Amino acid sequence: MKRKAGQDRSITANWRPATLAVRGGTARSEYGETSEALFLTSGYTYDKAADAAARFAGEQEGMTYSRLQNPTVEMLEQRIALLEGAEACRTMATGMAAMTAALLCQLQAGDHLVGGRAAFGSCRWLTDTMLPKFGIATTVVDARDPQAFLDAVRPETKVFFFETPANPTMDVVDLRAVCGIARERGITTVVDNAFATPALQRPMEFGADVTAYSATKMMDGQGRVLAGAVCGSQDFIDNTLLPFTRNTGPTLSPFNAWVVLKGLETLDLRIRRQSESAVAVGRFLEARVPRILHPGLASHPQHDLAMRQMSAAGPIFAFEVADRAQAHGLLDALALIDISNNIGDSRSLMTHPASTTHSGVAEDKRIEMGIGEGMLRLNVGLEDPQDLIDDLDQALRQVGL
Ligand SMILES: *Cc1c(COP(=O)(O)O)cnc(C)c1O
């Protein structure tokens, strides 16, 4: 592999995000291919036994096994790290593998974690069910209020874990305030940045230590593969995350890494266009439904904060109708927008969180999180926004709205 420009930090340091998204991390083989090569290999060979020994001892550069290194996966890791402004990144098989690894690699029995209340269903399962099972105490707080984090801190608190904007209520966390509280106390912040991606929000600029991703969402962006990533300092990635992932194996497949590399090339274009369309669709819905939760609209209680931290509001938002029957009726009446619980896709997709993504969360916790029976979540895709508005208009009429 020729490590040329894309992997030379002295060169990439001068590149802007749009350039990094297309070229960051690229390493060409001896064939000089323009597009990144896909290395579907589980192992590597050595010219001499001494080379194998030297590589295992870390004395010779080179790869040993694809659970640990792969050229295609490494290109993606470098590209994400560059976009994030992080020293290092490791990709994982899924977003949940990334969240699990980012937490378990640094926590042990006796530790305490403070988590955001509004969160992706499986992230809540990690804080509510998995961590306590291993003797790691957790407290869940209203993450919109930085003081709530402060009030929950104990001497043994090691990690703050939250997402912003949060799935699906679009709660926004004041990154500077919450990361500041953590920094002063030696607590590590782990931010699930799936909704915004580094194209719209870079939590490390506000003091976050670790960002974790479902790359399944906007990074792939076309609904094809599952993938995850964890970004942090070189020290965190090498000495805290890697010992955990090398031996537990939540590794991303090179094929999926290649697909996400291709996705990143258009991330900036897609997310800005989808964000603009989401504001247009949101403005239309605002006049037709009882409540809309969209950080890009002035009606969102944290609109100003969201716009200070994010360069656009992203493609996803929630709104409310009367109840589950009306929500399901609206979904069934859609002709263009698909009923689907995925997000970040170039297609517009809508779901009813209480009966899908958050159906595994107990009803009292769902209500506490602000997920009512009438809530719907919409991912605005790359279709013409007027076609989406027309589809919503006819579906709303069918349910009497
Ligand atoms: C989808 C999602 C996850 C989980 O990612 P997978 O790739 O589905 O495992 C975690 N957090 C958020 C905010 C998500 O939207």
Number of domains making up the chain: 2
Looking up residue 145, the CATH number of its domain turns out to be 3.40.640.10
Task: Out of 265, 296, 313, pick the residue that ends a domain.
Answer: 265
For residues 232 and 131, membership in a common domain is answered with yes
Give the separation between CA 213 and CA 197, rounded to whole angstroms. 8
pLDDT tens digits, 141-160: 999 999 999 999 999 999 99
Residue 217 CB–ligand 1 contact under 6 Å: yes
Residue 73 CB–ligand 1 contact under 6 Å: no
Task: Out of 208, 241, 265, pick the residue that ends a domain.
Answer: 265
For residues 118 and 168, membership in a common domain is answered with yes
pLDDT at site 66:
96
For residues 231 and 315, membership in a common domain is answered with no
Angle at CA 84, nearest 5°, toward 25 and 8? 30
Cα of 163 from ligand 1 centre, angstroms: 10
Q: Looking up tokens 């930085």, which residue turns up?
A: 146
Task: Out of 265, 299, 329, pick the residue that ends a domain.
Answer: 265
Q: Are the CB atoms for 232 and 86 separated by under 8 Å?
A: yes
Minimum CA distance residue for ligand 1 atom 11 = 120
pLDDT at site 1:
65
For residues 388 and 281, membership in a common domain is answered with yes
Where in the sequence is the domain holding 383, given as residue range(s)? 267-398
For residues 261 and 306, membership in a common domain is answered with no
For residues 284 and 247, membership in a common domain is answered with no
Give the separation between CA 24 and CA 12, rounded to whole angstroms. 7
Buried-state track 290-305, b at ≥16 Cβ within 10 A, e below 16: eebbbbbbeebebbeb
Q: Are the CB atoms for 189 and 322 separated by under 8 Å?
A: no
pLDDT at site 4:
66
Give the separation between CA 98 and CA 258, rounded to whole angstroms. 18
Q: Rounded mean pLDDT of the chain?
A: 96
Residue 169 CB–ligand 1 contact under 6 Å: no
Name the residue among 296, 294, 284, 276 with its Cα closest to residue 393: 284
pLDDT tens digits, 188-232: 999 999 999 999 999 999 999 999 999 999 999 999 999 999 999
For residues 115 and 188, membership in a common domain is answered with yes
Cα of 214 from ligand 1 centre, angstroms: 5
For residues 320 and 222, membership in a common domain is answered with no
pLDDT tens digits, 353-374: 999 999 988 899 899 999 999 9
Q: Is residue 59 part of a domain?
A: yes
For residues 224 and 321, membership in a common domain is answered with no
pLDDT tens digits, 311-327: 999 999 999 999 999 99
For residues 317 and 244, membership in a common domain is answered with no
For residues 303 and 362, membership in a common domain is answered with yes
Residue 159 CB–ligand 1 contact under 6 Å: no
Q: Which of 173, 193, 216, 317 to mutate to test the pocket of ligand 1 (most atoms within 8 A of CB)?
A: 216
Which atom of ligand 1 sits closest to the CA of residue 119? 13
Rounded-to-10 torsion of CA 149, 154, 158, 159: -20
pTM of the model: 0.96
CA atoms within 13 A on the CB side of 336: 20
Looking up residue 285, the CATH number of its domain turns out to be 3.90.1150.10
Beta bridge partners of 376: 319
Q: Is residue 1 part of a domain?
A: no
Blockwise average pLDDT, block size 10, the chain, 401 residues: 76 91 94 95 97 95 95 98 97 98 98 96 95 98 98 98 95 98 98 97 98 98 98 98 97 98 97 98 97 97 97 97 98 98 97 94 90 97 98 98 95
For residues 60 and 115, membership in a common domain is answered with yes
Q: What is the separation of C-alpha 141 from the centre of its chain, rounded to a whole number of angstroms?
A: 20
Q: Looking up tokens 């290194």, which residue turns up?
A: 69
Reduce the DSSP state of residue 293 to 3 states and report it: strand
Give the separation between CA 36 and CA 78, rounded to whole angstroms. 13
